[in-house]
A and B are shown apart, each in its own frame.
Chain A
């Protein structure tokens, strides 16, 4: 276990979609500058929990949360919290690469622009820094004006990562970021995630257990809305304490 301080704390959290309880009494502490992976079969609630961390669940009608989620000690569901500021601090990368129908440059500059940065040279600098951060600068620096929808899936996903980095978050949430990508692009994104954890705290949802083993420091296993087990990744995969976890990671269901 590392000594990094806890960045995200989930405390006795329940989540309901209408009458359906999607998450049950979740307790979880995610340290700074580490990668935490959420694994579990489809419908286990891992994506739902991820989307609660930047309140994307607010967009779902009938979604209700009890308990607490704290980031840097601040309850993010507190009435005083500005949800747009929260989402600026907690960036997100989605399952399907979702660049906007505009140029690569405008995609990356989109976040800073809506947060009020208009100065051209400042934007140029942010775009370059973010694209470098996403390991894409050398590939696209000569075609920043090209539409982002026209590049390959792997590049699109890295544009989305650059777009998220451009608003300078401290936390990056990744919702199965490689499930729509080929193996080469997948490994590029994985390498990138490992580099990014130097500066960011990363939470990743993945269907791919090998991926969790390769890149994460800690893994949480979810089943039917409950967090079954949470441990340092090597421990969880080598000596799972819960029989359900063992069944899942050895491929007996899921």
Chain B
């Protein structure tokens, strides 16, 4: 009798807890849906002709700056992060040094981005004596990205079967040849997934860029002289990004015509872009899993 009631009670608790977990999980989805829908609807409603244009009334320049900044930062962060990840997985021996490096990378990835932004301001603006510029912003985003690219690369390499290494070394390949020709190609899909996520984060980064990229955007789309401060591709010109623009439009810039609309539409683009980046990463990793199952 007693045993039976214990059993019934544990079943009751089970049902109850399952319900709780459903509610918690459901609210996470609900929160995202509500937030995204609200921002997208606000964005669509705020549309006015010329908003996507490349003038002061539009956000084309800011969008371009954002993409350009992410590309600049990836050019630096991908090779460095992959090299560091490869070192940790393939060369580093167990020991104090490796532990310190691993801990530093973890600490670096959890630093508040505003702190990295200030550090970037100190190093890339004050110490170089430069004006605010896109490259300085890209370097700050690079610092933010390196830990994740490093750990993604390290984990992707460690997940590869040891058979790849013995198979290659057994044919007389050096360690470096093995890494370069066998291991890195085999883990590229996973690393690319990580890079997409990092790019998504860089796309929406604002706090870290407050002090470095500058808040003006004067681009002359007919000027292709790289040394000129109005050339779109000059990395040393100031270049406000989309996320910064949102912040500007709700603070100092709120006197600008259409500032509310611009902030709404920019937010919409940012949200959609980050969702797309995340979905792309998901799809890619789903394909990798399928491929690894031999399908």
Chain A residues with a Cβ under 8 A of chain B: 54, 56, 59, 61, 84-88, 91-92, 94, 96, 98-102, 110-111, 113-115, 149-150, 160, 163-164, 167
Contact = CB atoms under 8 A, between A and B. Distances in A.
Interface size for chain B: under 10, 10 to 19, 20 to 34, or 35 or more residues? 20 to 34
B289 interface: no
Given A94-B163, A96-B163, A100-B164, A111 B171 contact: yes
Nearest to A96: B163
Contact of A88 (B165, B166, B172, B185): B172
B171 A98 contact: no
B181 A56 contact: no
Interface in B157-201: 161, 163-174, 177, 181-182, 185-186
Contacts of B294: 149-150
Contacts of B174: 84, 114
Given A87-B169, A99-B167, 6 more contacts: A59-B165, A92-B170, A96-B163, A111-B172, A114-B172, A115-B172
A103 to B, nearest CB: 12
Contacts of B168: 100, 110, 114
Contacts, number: 69
A98 B168 CA distance: 10
Given A110-B181, A149-B294, A85 B172 contact: yes
A106 B186 CA distance: 13
Nearest to A167: B171
Nearest to B186: A101
16 contacts: A56-B169, A59-B166, A86-B172, A87-B170, A87-B171, A87-B172, A98-B166, A99-B167, A100-B164, A100-B182, A101-B185, A111-B173, A114-B171, A114-B172, A114-B177, A167-B172
B170 A54 contact: yes
Contacts of B172: 84-88, 111, 114-115, 167
B166 A94 contact: yes
B169 A100 contact: no
A114 B181 contact: yes
B223 to A, nearest CB: 44
A84 B164 contact: no
B165 to A, nearest CB: 8
**Chain B interface main SS type:** helix
B164 A102 contact: no
Nearest first, the 4 A-B pairs at minimum CB distance are: A98-B163, A88-B172, A92-B170, A87-B172
A63 to B, nearest CB: 14
A21 B168 CA distance: 28
A172 to B, nearest CB: 11
Given A59-B166, A96-B163, A98-B163, A91 B171 contact: yes
Nearest to B165: A59
Contacts of B170: 54, 56, 87, 91-92, 94, 164
B171 to A, nearest CB: 4
B290 to A, nearest CB: 13
A229 B117 CA distance: 71
A15 to B, nearest CB: 18
A56 B166 contact: yes
A102 B186 CA distance: 8
A65 B163 CA distance: 24
A116 to B, nearest CB: 11
A100 B167 contact: yes
Contact of B173 (A54, A59, A84, A101): A84
A54 B172 CA distance: 10
Given A102-B185, A150-B294, A94 B167 contact: yes
A168 to B, nearest CB: 11
Contacts of B171: 87-88, 91, 110-111, 114, 163-164, 167
A186 B248 CA distance: 71
A239 B167 CA distance: 38
Q: Counting chain B CB atoms within 10 Å of each CB, which of A84, A113, A160 scores highest?
A: A84
A167 B172 CA distance: 9
A61 B95 CA distance: 13
Contacts of B182: 100, 110
